[in-house]
A and B are shown apart, each in its own frame.
Chain A
Amino acid sequence: MNLALRAASVLLLLAAWYAGSHVLGERLLPEPQAVGLAIVEEARSGALAFNLGITLARVAVAFVIAMALGTAIGLAMGRVVAFDRVVDPWLVVLLNLPALVIIVLAYVWAGLTETAAIVAVALNKLPIATVTVREGARALDPMLDEMATVFRMGRWVRLRHIVLPQLAPYLAAAARSGLSLVWKIVLIVELLGRPNGVGFEIGVAFQLFDVTRILAYALAFIAVMLLIETFLVQPLERYVSRWRARPA
């Protein structure tokens, strides 16, 4: 039933695409099979794999940096009130700074380099991850903390077995929203200042008014993210919440 509904939904989307293409014309919205053919062509030349790979690598590095820093800072902010007071204004500034401003400033200050690109993406994701993890840290159970204290558990044991499992839902939420945000920003960063990657290709296609190629790269990357969601994020979530079994 679920599967049927899903299939119906996808078919409806395709039908709308065909209809749109018919109304707008090939130039503005090419038909799905034309886009499919463009994907196959790009794949044959090796350009697709190259650009997808580069973009994916940037997504991965920026994502890991932002999540690691965001987790550490959010945890500290949630647990130490004084630290929260000091860092909170910075967080508000960063949260409300438009992504484009961060990207442009990073390129102006550090040049059109790989580092500038990664830093700009990570900085865009960082405040959201921090805020989410801070909520999690504020909700940590003090009773388990006391238990760990009286049984003299070490820092590492506490972090791994008491703090992180409680943060897991918050980390999952931050990762979910983060992954989609990061790849969208990576594309802008590539468009503005990198000589390769999906964003760069889309920029070139834009200048040539090549809508087929824009859609080809967009769809290919969405497919990659879907694979990551299905084969990485979901199994990980299932593993982390394995203890939430029904009571015997």
Chain B
Amino acid sequence: MSPVGAPGRLDVHIGQKSYRAASGGRLHVLGELSISLANGEVAALVGPSGCGKTTLLRIIVGLDRDFEGTVGLPKHGTLGVVFQEPRLLPWRTVEENVRLAAPEAGAEALDALFATLGLMEHRRHYPGELSLGLARRVALARAFAVEPELLVLDEPFVSLDAALAARLRAELLELTARRPVTTLLVTHDIEEALELADRVIVLSASPARVLADMPVARARGSFGGAELSALRDEIKRKANQG
């Protein structure tokens, strides 16, 4: 569990992870798997639902320590996490929510962040006054405000309509372009994975193993091409083998 210490590098080696089932016995969630990310690399984890993606993320960010294996976080281990739910404090304003997570963030950096995410006029609003799309943007702003060495996103755009999800993906790309950060993104949407990531890691059904680890050979965010659709088909084929 000791950090490896290289800037921005993530090394995860899981021996196995199981839960005690309610009916007695153990429920095997993760099999043996290793994932390494270089500094600034963006990887997408895809796999069937219930395969243990969220469990894997919880292990990586240190919320679950009951597993066999090691997690080597970047040097200082500063994490920016976007959960499936926005997880904002309803009794604090948008700006306070961000500042509480990132007390050292400068005013200019926050201004830029809020401007990019279209949150300027919502700084003084309470989360209860925001739509889900806006709340997710605040969660993104909070994760970026801490200037993380590792950004972890767990289905950050789920249950948004397609157009809104596309806009948020574009904003996320803009943020990672401005300040590159090692990123691990969980999604069930292969299109989303291909749009955002440099690498797509395909997990099997539970207990999860790595079925395939494929580079996406094009600049992030540039869509289209026969090559891409071939890659998409290959990912789908690999995922179905698991």
Q: Chain B's interface: helix, strand, loop or mixed, by majority?
A: loop
Q: Is the CB of A151 within 8 A of B101?
A: yes
Complex CA–CA separation, A74 to B81 (angstroms)? 31
Complex CA–CA separation, A243 to B96 (angstroms)? 12
Q: Which of A213-238 contact B (CB under 8 A)?
A: none
Tell me the smallest distance from the CB of B99 to a CB of chain A, in Å: 10
Tell me the smallest distance from the CB of A139 to a CB of chain B, in Å: 14
Q: Is the CB of B92 within 8 A of A151?
A: no
Q: Which residue on chain B has the smallest CB distance to residue A149?
A: B63
- Please pick, from A146, A152, A244, the residue contacting B128 in the complex, using a CB distance under 8 A: A244
Q: Which of A148-167 contact B (CB under 8 A)?
A: 149-153, 157, 161-162, 165
Q: Which of B90-117 contact A (CB under 8 A)?
A: 90-92, 96, 100-102
A245 within 8 A of B: yes
Q: Is the CB of A161 within 8 A of B128?
A: no
Q: Which of B128-165 contact A (CB under 8 A)?
A: 128-130, 142, 146
- Most chain A Cβ neighbours within 10 Å, of B83, B100, B142: B100
Q: Chain B residues near A248 (CB, 8 Å)?
A: 125, 129-130
Tell me the smallest distance from the CB of A156 to a CB of chain B, in Å: 11
Contact pattern, B 54-91, Cβ under 8 Å of A = 1, otherwise 0: 00000001110000000000000011010101010111
- Please pick, from B81, B85, B96, B129, the residue contacting A151 in the complex, using a CB distance under 8 A: B81
Tell me the smallest distance from the CB of B100 to a CB of chain A, in Å: 6
Complex CA–CA separation, A149 to B58 (angstroms)? 11
Tell me the smallest distance from the CB of A54 to a CB of chain B, in Å: 38
Tell me the smallest distance from the CB of A134 to a CB of chain B, in Å: 21
Complex CA–CA separation, A198 to B125 (angstroms)? 47
Q: Is the CB of A146 within 8 A of B89?
A: no
Q: Is the CB of A243 within 8 A of B79?
A: no
- Please pick, from B78, B89, B130, the residue contacting A162 in the complex, using a CB distance under 8 A: B89
Complex CA–CA separation, A15 to B95 (angstroms)? 55
Complex CA–CA separation, A161 to B63 (angstroms)? 20
Complex CA–CA separation, A162 to B90 (angstroms)? 10
Complex CA–CA separation, A247 to B127 (angstroms)? 9
Tell me the smallest distance from the CB of B121 to a CB of chain A, in Å: 11
A3 within 8 A of B: no
Q: Is the CB of A143 within 8 A of B83?
A: yes
Given contacts A151-B101, A151-B146, contact A143 B125 (CB under 8 A): no
Q: Is the CB of B89 within 8 A of A149?
A: no
Tell me the smallest distance from the CB of B89 to a CB of chain A, in Å: 6
Tell me the smallest distance from the CB of A175 to a CB of chain B, in Å: 18
Q: Is the CB of A157 within 8 A of B100?
A: yes
Q: Is the CB of B126 within 8 A of A243?
A: yes
Given contacts A143-B83, A149-B63, A151-B146, contact A245 B89 (CB under 8 A): no
Task: Using A150-B79, A165-B89 as known contacts, list a sample of 19 further A-B pairs with CB atoms less than 8 Å apart, ordered by residue number in A.
Answer: A143-B87, A146-B87, A147-B81, A150-B61, A150-B62, A150-B81, A151-B79, A151-B146, A152-B79, A153-B100, A157-B100, A161-B89, A161-B96, A161-B100, A162-B89, A165-B91, A243-B90, A247-B128, A248-B130
**A-B CB proximity, top 6 nearest:** A151-B101, A165-B91, A243-B126, A147-B87, A243-B91, A150-B81
* Chain A residues within CB distance 8 Å of chain B: 143-144, 146-147, 149-153, 157, 161-162, 165, 168, 243-245, 247-248
What are 16 of the A-B contact pairs (CB < 8 Å)?
A143-B87, A144-B89, A146-B63, A146-B83, A146-B87, A147-B87, A150-B62, A151-B102, A152-B79, A161-B91, A161-B100, A244-B128, A245-B128, A247-B129, A248-B129, A248-B130
